[in-house]
A and B are shown apart, each in its own frame.
Chain A
Amino acid sequence: MEERIRPTKSGLFAIELLIAVGIFSLCAAICMGLFVRSEVMSQEAADLNRAVSAARSAAECYKAAGGDLEKTAELTGGGVLDAGTLFIEFDESWQPLPSGEAGAFELTIALDQTTDGQDIGYASALLEVKRYTRTGSEAVAEALLLWDIAALEVRP
């Protein structure tokens, strides 16, 4: 007949503790995930705030320039690299970069092609801010905001 092994007090305590540690570790892992998520959300919120500020300033310059992209580029420090599109590049801390340099954030003002050249009494454009995540030579763009803007008093 086999001898039955009787559990000791310390053995039972160890098993109980093992279960408690397991449950706690599971909760801690979930909490860590939430911590990381909150960090990412906080950074995204800060970026969106700065994007809105930059976009508002660019839109004000566009209005002041009466819808003239070249003039807007002079006022904002950006560059018109593509026909009908103004680019402004920013680094990680949202400081403007010289025209033509690739940054972490990019603000573009593209003239509305559907109304371009038509006499509708105002100039309209599409303002977009993108965040670029660069891994090696690849860059993945993510749109932060997209606005329709207009300069009601178009320069002659």
Chain B
Amino acid sequence: MSRRQTGAGTIAALALTCVFGATLLLSLAAGAGVYRRVADRVERSAGDRVGLTYITAKIHSYDEAGTAFAGQFGGQDAVYLLQEVDGLTYETILYVYDGWLMELLCERGWELEPQNGQTITKARSLTVEEPEPGLLHLCYTGADGGLSTADVYLRSGG
């Protein structure tokens, strides 16, 4: 066996090792890229929907005549939900303040500040309109800037 043949064999083996390594790295990079995109998409989708779903579920759970309506709180659009317990009326206010979707539960008539609420999830903005009696139109911007809209029809008629 000549020295030239042995050298060629070694080079071929090295080249194959390189191909093996490159294929391995490419596969890992592709897998990591796909995982990152899927995770981003799931996170973005959840971030957009969680806040809005929370608000719509709350509205539906308070759906009695005159208990759910749009209003203003701290200069921002808000959803007001009323509840009567032992002769006292309590209000739940849902609004966006300082980058968070907030919820404030207090007795009706109390004058509280937006910062007194409890944080629910990160959000940028919430606008609430009532284009039709009993129909609430919500525009919600999630923490990443994704805009989602939802219409909620109050079965009670509002």
Contacts and interface: CB of A to CB of B under 8 A. Distances in A.
Contact of A75 (B17, B31, B38, B135): B135
- By size class, the interface of chain A is 35 or more
A19 to B, nearest CB: 10
Interface in B31-60: 31, 34, 37-38, 41-42, 45, 49, 52
Contacts of B148: 53
A25 to B, nearest CB: 6
A39 B39 CA distance: 10
A118 interface: no
A114 interface: no
Nearest to B31: A35
Interface in B6-32: 6, 9-10, 12-13, 16-17, 19-20, 23-24, 26-27, 30-31
A75 to B, nearest CB: 6
Contact of B13 (A17, A42, A49): A17
A31 B31 contact: yes
A142 B16 CA distance: 45
B152 interface: yes
A43 B151 contact: no
B30 A17 contact: no
Contacts, number: 91
Interface string A29-68: 0011001101100110010011001001110110111000
B62 interface: no
Contacts of A58: 151
B82 to A, nearest CB: 21
A64 B151 contact: yes
A64 B31 CA distance: 47
A107 B14 CA distance: 58
A18 B20 CA distance: 9
Which 7 residue pairs are nearest across A and B when measured between Cβ atoms? A10-B9, A64-B135, A60-B153, A57-B151, A35-B34, A17-B16, A64-B153
Interface of A: 6, 8, 10-11, 13-14, 17-18, 20-21, 24-25, 28, 31-32, 35-36, 38-39, 42-43, 46, 49-50, 53, 56-58, 60-61, 63-65, 75-76, 95
Given A14-B16, A17-B13, A36-B34, 9 more contacts: A10-B9, A10-B10, A14-B9, A21-B20, A32-B30, A57-B149, A60-B150, A64-B132, A75-B135
